[in-house]
Amino acid sequence: MNVLCVEQNRTKLRQMSKDARKLVPGVCIIPCRNPNKAVVAARARGCDVLMTEVVFDGFSMNGVMLAKQIQNINPRVSIIFIADHADTSAAYDAWEIGASAFLLRPYEKDQLAKAFTDLRFAPVKETTEEV
């Protein structure tokens, strides 16, 4: 499973990545601080789960816009939004596009674990079959 973690703040990105790695054995974490580069990474490497912040300062897109672009690449991507403060509008937009979870920082590890347990789409498992 490829998890694309998108967060501008380096410290928060490291924590998100570390938390996901601990919760999901064998996960491939793709960390990214730039939402535009995250789209490129999703095209190149694939993305089963998008873990993203809601607001990107200095960029022409927010987390919901990023999620929509990733959904264009993989319509079966599961999305986990993480916000620093309550934002009813962002939460509504997240649910409208089918997010699996919307967490507020500081989130508890069990909240993130539940988000990974309740993913909207099960990641596609690669199989190797002999022909």
CA–CA gap between residue 31 and residue 41 (Å, rounded):
9
How does the average pLDDT of the chain come out, rounded?
Answer: 90
Q: Among 103, 65, 82, 78, which Cα is nearest to 24's?
A: 78
How many CA atoms are closer than 13 Å to the CA of 32, on its beta-carbon side?
25
Mean pLDDT of 107-113: 93
Residue 43 domain-assigned (yes or no): yes
The secondary structure of the chain, three-state, reads CEEEEECCCHHHHHHHHHHHHHHCCCCEEEEECCHHHHHHHHHHHCCCEEEEECCCCCCCCCHHHHHHHHHHHCCCCEEEEEECCCCHHHHHHHHHCCCCEEEECCCCHHHHHHHHHCCCCCCCCCCCCCC
Residue 8 domain-assigned (yes or no): yes
Q: Distance from CA of residue 93 to its chain's centroid? A: 15
Residue 128 domain-assigned (yes or no): no
How many CA atoms are closer than 13 Å to the CA of 13, on its beta-carbon side?
16
User: What integer pLDDT is reported at residue 14 of this predicted model?
Assistant: 97
Q: Which CATH number covers residue 15?
A: 3.40.50.2300
Mean pLDDT of 15-44: 95
User: What integer pLDDT is reported at residue 95 of this predicted model?
Assistant: 87
Question: Could you tell me which residue, 127 or 39, shows the higher pLDDT?
Answer: 39
Mean pLDDT of 11-18: 96
Which residues span the domain enclosing 57?
2-117
Residue 33 domain-assigned (yes or no): yes
Residue 12 domain-assigned (yes or no): yes
Total domains present in the chain = 1
Judged against a pLDDT cut of 50, whether residue 1 lies above it is answered with yes
Residue 122 domain-assigned (yes or no): no
Tens of pLDDT, residue by residue over 41-74, are 999 999 999 999 998 999 999 999 999 999 999 9
User: What integer pLDDT is reported at residue 53 of this predicted model?
Assistant: 93
